[in-house]
Amino acid sequence: MTVSEQKLANAIRVLAMDAVQAANSGHPGMPMGMADVATVLFREYLKYDASAPRWADRDRFVLSAGHGSMLIYALLYLTGYEQPTIGDIRNFRQLGSVCAGHPENFDLPGVECTTGPLGQGFAMAVGMAMAERHLNAVYGDALVDHRTWAVAGDGCLMEGINHEAVGLAGTLGLGKLTVLWDNNHITIDGDVSKSSCEDIPARYRASGWHVAECDGHDFADIRRALDEALADPRPSLVSCRTVIGKGAPNKQGGSGVHGSPLGAEEVAAARAELGWTDAPFVIPAAIKAAWEESGRRGAPVKAAWEARLAASADKGAFEARMAGKIDAATPTRAFIEGLLADPKKVATRKASEMALGPLTETIPAMIGGSADLTGSNNTKTKATTPFTKEDYSGRYVYYGIREFGMAAAMNGMALHGGVIPYGGTFLVFSDYCRNAIRMSALQEQRVIYVLTHDSIGLGEDGPTHQPIEHVMSMRMIPNLEVFRPADVIETAECWQLALENEKTPSVLALTRQNLPQLRTEAAENRCARGGYRLRGAQAARKVVIVATGSEVEIAAKVAEALEEQGVGTDVVSMPSLSRFAAQDGAYRNDVLPQDVLRVSIEAGTTFGWESITGLDGLRFGIDRFGASAPIDALYDYFGLTPEKIVPQILAALK
């Protein structure tokens, strides 16, 4: 028995409305409105095999409109993925269910990325398409040749990040990226015209995209538009004119169906409208079987790919590449050996560039870039030639002045697998991409942020460019490791640790100003403990100074002055507070004893340093905006000099 496309699409609709009704929470409008488009996509266009959700050459499908999570849960269930089960769908939005409120990559294979923050799924899809083109250039069509599809709503297109993502994708000519726009004219506040008069197709065309349009409830018309998109070499936006909540006879078309359960009465009316007689969560066997057949459609394609992989000389390299296994320790060690023989006084941003040389040379998975600050972030190396429309084998991305777009694209690249993205901007502009940094952490992705000009030490550009709260506020993000290295050796050590953080993104906060090489030995990676005693007290220990980055040099001078007065002082360098906190108690107590005056120095907010100094300790930092002046004048003005700090410590000891 053949099952009509309409029935298949209606199965998505009823699962969505029933799950939201049962949870008494969720968004039925989007999945009901896009059910027809999704049916065509999953039945005929998307390259996937429900039994192999992690197959490397699968198409990537991103539900950028993450509030419509029931769309993807329904599709994964219907097509026969191992998860979610119908039980999981019954538990939609309940504690522990893989069918969480918004789709989460760490919960369900088949969910390529975590979405919900509007606009970011789209931008991550751009990053996935970039990774695909790069790996295609390296390994060829036989191993890497897939598309990236995204479903995006009016909100995803209205967000500012959309402008960045569209500009990047157009410039890079990502022709294997297709975005299906749920063009329903509705957002939460009502008709889109209330808040937008934009000619979206015109904007996309102006940015190097191809635009197709279709009636999102006419299967033949959807196919026609998708065929048009496939035929065009540019990235494509397919405007699918849809009715939000389609199938709910009294509520469809209005903002009321966006994010509220339909209610028992309307659910019943929708069942009548759709001719659906089965109970909630019951999918007739014939419909389920037809969907599962779609879920197996890609199996022979995958088998053919596996045969090509088995026959390929690149098999081992490709598999290791996709598994993300790298050796960052060897090149780092060799680099550090050289520094011990020939110490260098350089800015840590320069130190980062120096460390990146051998790292990018030996780790081809690394793809660098900067948001138009290449010469300032020092992110480009000899091995990383430009990644362009003409040459996708390049490993350096000119992201343009698009911090948020860059960060989200890097998330997409990391999620795709096979590449390890790092990208730079000024630390102060981490605020521009903060939510994407947070999403790196939530999604457990190895993305490395090279954030330079990390304090008032940048000098004359003044308070707009001088980070104050940034380093500490990023330390608050769970599963994000913030490194602030003190010299050229620590910078290399932190790069190694960042690259070894397979499921944790990292921030490297780096200076503009030169810093002396403080480390004279490097038998082991001392940053691996997060914080360590750089200099031990000579006289009886009364003080421990903990500092990070550029302020470790100041701490060393303070200690010297105190020792001259007979006050024994340890200097602790603490490039990673979170890593130090994770050490065992014996180590922490040894480095940070309780019976001394504990002092912190960091050229940023003192907020949070109580956890290191205790309330009775001293905290030197800056709790106001910076100022425009040469660096030495600023450090003096803000009291971060040995001359200003030493007397305060002596006074506290009295």
Ligand X SMILES: Cc1ncc(C[n+]2csc(CCOP(=O)(O)OP(=O)(O)O)c2C)c(N)n1
* Binder among 155, 247, 604, 608 for ligand X (CB under 6 A): 155
Measure the CA dihedral 586/591/593/599, to 10°. -150
**Residues numbered 39-68 forming contacts with ligand X, rule: CB under 6 A:** 65, 67
Of residues 339-358, those binding ligand X (CB under 6 A): none
Measure the CA–CA gap between 230 and 233, rounded to whole angstroms. Answer: 8
Contact (Cβ atoms closer than 8 angstroms) between residue 129 and residue 169: yes
Nearest to 534 by CA among 577, 575, 586: 575
- Residue of 26, 28, 110, 117 that binds ligand X (CB under 6 A): 117
493 among known catalytic residues: no
Q: Is 235 an interacting residue with respect to ligand X (CB under 6 A)?
A: no
**Sheet containing strand 148-153, strands side by side:** 60-63, 148-153, 177-183, 236-241, 210-215
Q: How is 188-199 classified by DSSP, letter by letter?
A: TTEEGGGT----
Residues 257-316 that bind ligand X (CB under 6 A): 258
Encoding tokens for residue 534?
């750089």
Please give the angle made by the CA atoms of 301, 306 and 310, to the nearest 5 degrees.
150
Q: Of Mg ion, ligand X, none, which one sits near residue 67, judging by CB under 5 to 8 A according to partner kind? A: ligand X
Q: Which of residues 484-523 bind Mg ion (CB under 5 A)?
A: none
Instruction: Verify binding: residue 184, Mg ion, rule CB under 5 A.
Output: yes
Residue whose CB is less far from ligand X, 153 or 621? 153
> Contact between 186 and Mg ion (CB under 5 A)?
yes
Task: Please choose, out of 149-157, 216-224, 332-340, 426-434, the segment that lies near Mg ion by the rule CB under 5 A.
Answer: 149-157
Q: Which is nearer to ligand X, 158 or 401 (CB)?
A: 158
Q: What angle do CA 493, 495, 498 make, to 5 degrees?
A: 110
Please choose which of Mg ion, ligand X, none residue 258 contacts, taking the beta carbon within 5 to 8 angstroms, the exact cut-off set by kind: ligand X
Residue 244 as a binder of ligand X (CB under 6 A): the answer is yes
Query: In 3D, which of 479, 396, 472, 404 has the Cα closest to residue 435?
Result: 404
- Within a 13 Å sphere around the CA of 634, how many CA atoms are in the beta-carbon half? 23
Partner interacting with residue 601 (select from Mg ion, ligand X, none; CB below 5-8 Å by kind): none
Q: Which does 117 bind (CB under 5 to 8 A by kind): Mg ion, ligand X, none?
A: ligand X
Which part of the chain contacts ligand X (CB under 6 A), choosing from 113-121, 194-202, 463-471, 599-607?
Answer: 113-121
Q: Are strands 514-515 and 506-510 parallel, antiparallel or unpaired?
A: unpaired
**Interface stretch with Mg ion, choices 110-118, 170-178, 182-190, 336-344 (CB under 5 A):** 182-190
182: Cα within 13 Å, side-chain hemisphere: 34
Contacts of residue 596, Cβ cutoff 8 Å, sequence gap at least 6: 541, 542, 543, 544, 570
Residues 349, 483: contact at Cβ < 8 Å?
Answer: no
In the stretch 334-373, what mask flags binding to Mg ion with x, by CB under 5 A? ----------------------------------------
Interface residue with ligand X among 153, 170, 368, 617 (CB under 6 A) is: 153
Q: In the range 9-38, which residues lie near ligand X by CB under 6 A?
A: 29-30
Please, what is the minimum distance in Å from the beta carbon of residue 34 to ligand X? 9
User: Residue 116's binding partner, choosing from Mg ion, ligand X, none, with beta-carbon cut-off 5 to 8 A by kind?
Assistant: ligand X
Upstream peptide bond of 300 is cis (omega within 30 degrees of 0): no
Which of Mg ion, ligand X, none binds 247 (CB below 5-8 Å, type-dependent)? Answer: none
Of 114-122, 385-393, 413-421, 538-546, which segment contacts ligand X by CB under 6 A? 114-122
CB of 239 to ligand X, least distance (A): 13
Please give the torsion angle defined by the CA atoms of residues 300, 301, 307 and 310, in that order, rounded to the nearest 10 degrees.
Answer: -130
Work out whether 71 is an interface residue with Mg ion (CB under 5 A). no
Amino acid at 106: F
What stretches of 232-284 show up as alpha helix (H) in DSSP? Answer: 264-274
Cα separation of 541 and 545, whole Å? Answer: 11
* Exposure on the CB side of residue 531, measured as CA atoms within 13 A: 29
Binding to ligand X, residues 175-204 (CB under 6 A): 182, 184, 186-188
**Closest CB to Mg ion among residues 184, 207:** 184
Per annotation, catalytic residue among 112, 266, 403, 602:
403
Residue ranges in contact with ligand X by CB under 6 A: 29-30, 65, 67, 116-118, 153-156, 159, 182, 184, 186-188, 244, 258
Residue ranges in contact with Mg ion by CB under 5 A: 153-154, 184, 186
Catalytic residues: 403
